[in-house]
Amino acid sequence: MGMITLFWIMFLLLLLYTILPTVLIRLFGLWMYTKKSNGDGIALTFDDGPDPEFTPKLLDLLRKYQIKATFFVLGSKAEKYPHLILRIHQEGHLVGIHNYVHWANAFMSPKKVRRQLSYSVNAVENIIGIKPIYYRPPWGIINVFDLLLVKRFRLVLWSLMVGDWRSRGGKERIKMKLLAKLKNNDIILLHDSGETFGADKNAPVYMLAALDDFLEICKLRGYNFLRIDTYMQLVAQAEQEPVRLLKRLLIYLWLKWEHFFHWLFNIHPIDLNNQIFYSRVCKYHGKTIHLENGEEICSGDLVVELHFNNEKLSQLIAESNSMVQLAVNMIRDVQRFLPTMAQYLHLHQKVKGIYGITMIHRGSKQLGFTVEELPKGLFNIFSHIYLRILLLVFHPNGKQRIELKKGQLSPRIVAISVQELKRRYSLDPER
């Protein structure tokens, strides 16, 4: 194998292992937090500490301006200076990690990176009793396997860096760069140690002096400084707002479609005072339903087909503080509806039973209904898709419910005979 071929193989491996994933996160902010797109709040962050000379001075300065910051610390230094980690935590700042020693992930195996992180997490947790979950890789360089860390850590980069690890230009260079580049949603990167490879040992002297002037100006301008965890909560809220607006639009459009569907197939409410169900009288088409009381509903029998009123369901969801309260409210409304249903059936003597298809079937048996599996086939598949979309649109945590209850969220046939309904719920004692 020639030297040129070997060079290109090594370059390709390096490209896939570290260059490409690092470029993706740095240019496009994929998988890592860099900055908010809008909003009010600046995150002040410090790397490479704690340092016995500069970190105490930095903490004094932050206390002077009553600012909370985030410290991405090295695990080896946390073990060496536990009193500084404890002070950072006790004064209300957030402790994140920055590897055990300041090595770039590009030059370590995935196993070594994880070992560095585990050592660092354990070092910090042993001091403050809290497991750190915020992580900034040294120099912002990662390898492709670090993308798997997003399940365990919140990976954080920066949006404003001013080269404060160099002494040249003194405090004025640092201060002017901070003021010139600052935006009201930046994540600022500074360093409270000068011991890292490539840094000037006394550079934090100038950083602290510049920071003092900078914070004084920011105070006059009314800037708000946040810890990274608070900053990220605001990011999540800002990102969720368009989703909430879209969901409200989807609900509106869905309900409009349902109104048209009800008109088209003559589906209407039976109880105008408790419109939890819409219904229509039609012929049943499907497999024979064997009811609990020994009766059967067969294909061709006249039935009342029930449909949940999703507008009412949406209202119940909005009025309920928990899933338990929602279930209680729904059962209450169903119990109120059934006597009206029994009275309605006195006018439809040929109807044999009532049935519907739903994923919300818990508690149905206690009300006298038979619950059966939906037969396999295209209708089953369509019902699965339709009802899951319905849950996704109307339930505030629909996506999570679908993921957590995959095995349970399947449509069922819920049915009861007219005779059983009248026996249980008729208002006429002679019937």
Question: Active-site positions?
Answer: 47, 191
Task: Determine the Cα–Cα distance for residues 253 and 309; give it in Å rounded to an integer.
Answer: 15
Task: Determine the Cα–Cα distance for residues 222 and 215; give it in Å rounded to an integer.
Answer: 10
Task: Determine the Cα–Cα distance for residues 108 and 101; give it in Å rounded to an integer.
Answer: 12
Measure Cα distances from 60 to 65, 66, 96, 212 in Å: 9, 10, 20, 11
Task: Determine the Cα–Cα distance for residues 354 and 416; give it in Å rounded to an integer.
Answer: 5
Q: Give the list of residues 6+ apart from residue 90 with CB closer than 8 angstroms, or none.
A: none
Task: Determine the Cα–Cα distance for residues 26 and 20; give it in Å rounded to an integer.
Answer: 10
Residue bearing tokens 């969220």: 409
CB contact at 8 A, 223 and 196: no
Task: Determine the Cα–Cα distance for residues 286 and 414; give it in Å rounded to an integer.
Answer: 13
CB contact at 8 A, 340 and 354: no
Closest CA to 371 of 307, 415, 407, 418: 415
